[in-house]
Amino acid sequence: MRVIAGRFRGRSLAGPHGETTRPITDRAKETLFNILGNRFGTLGGLPDFDVLDVFAGTGGLGIEALSRGARRCTFVERDRRALHSLRDNVRQIGIAGISAILVENAWTMRPPTALREFGLVFIDPPYRDTADVLRVVDLLERLAVSLAPEGLMVFRHEGRLSFPLEQLRGLRCVDQRTIGRMGLVFLARAAGQSGAAESEPPPVVTQD
């Protein structure tokens, strides 16, 4: 595992042995951040905003965001072995001053707050947990209040699963991708309760 672009490009990321985490591949990470760069108009970089990395694992997504220009990242993780690797990565890369680590159960925690709202929120739960669709919907809706007006929420899940995105309160789906076995959903704040229901269905793009 490594940082693939930005000021920390090429830095290795520590990870625990076993199945504690499910690291995103370099190819999928590059695709994800290319999509984000296109949406934010930053050509592979990111704006100077706060990031929330939920189910952070070893911190790969949040650290990549910091490397590409994000101002600060709040990591949420509670697994002991993943936390050890996350803290080690933050220390080794030298980003403790622009990072916060919350040891919380993401499924039940209160939405964290930043000095400003989060411009980017990653939600990357274990695949086995995303089979509970109602639980996922509840989490997405609860975290919607942490999202900046022009921000994006990225939900990573097993590609074969589908979710009632049109029913989400306070959020609207702006893009949806399938990359191999991985699904990505990009969500933005809805203009109003009826905004998501009135919007056109998002494009679905499948990549091998």
pLDDT value, residue 21 = 56
Q: What confidence score (pLDDT) does residue 199 get?
A: 36
- CA distances from residue 25 to 4, 83, 88, 150, 188 in whole angstroms, order as listed: 10, 20, 20, 27, 25
pLDDT band at 194 (very low <50, low <70, confident <90, very high): very low
Residues in contact with 71: Cβ distance below 8 Å, sequence separation at least 6, in sequence order: 48, 49, 50, 98
What is the CATH number that goes with domain 42-207?
A: 3.40.50.150
The more confident residue out of 49 and 44 is 49
How far is 40 from 36, CA to CA, in rounded Å? 6
Distance (Å) of CA 47 to CA 66, 178, 191, 192: 10, 25, 22, 25
Separation of alpha carbons 1 and 105, rounded Å: 25
Distance CA 9, CA 68 (A): 9
Q: Is the pLDDT of residue 17 over 80?
A: no
Quickly count helices (H) and strands (E) in the chain.
Answer: 5, 8
Q: What average pLDDT does this structure show over 12-40?
A: 83
Give me the pLDDT at residue 149, please.
93
Reported as type and span, the H/E element at residue 60 is helix 60-67
- pLDDT tens across 120-174, in order? 999 999 988 988 999 999 999 999 999 999 999 999 999 888 898 888 999 999 9
155 three-class SS = strand
pLDDT attached to residue 198:
35
Mean pLDDT lowest among 18-27, 49-58, 80-89: 18-27
Mean pLDDT for 193-203 is: 35
pLDDT of res. 98: 97
At residue 201, does pLDDT exceed 90? no
Give the range among 32-41, 96-105, 167-176, 187-196 with minimum mean pLDDT.
187-196
Hey, how many other C-beta atoms are within 10 angstroms of the C-beta on 1? Answer: 21
The overall average pLDDT reported for the chain is 87
Check residue 157 and give its pLDDT.
Answer: 92
Band of pLDDT at residue 24, cut at 50, 70 and 90: confident
Residue 43 CA to residue 188 CA, distance in Å, equals 20
* Mean pLDDT, residues 87-95: 97
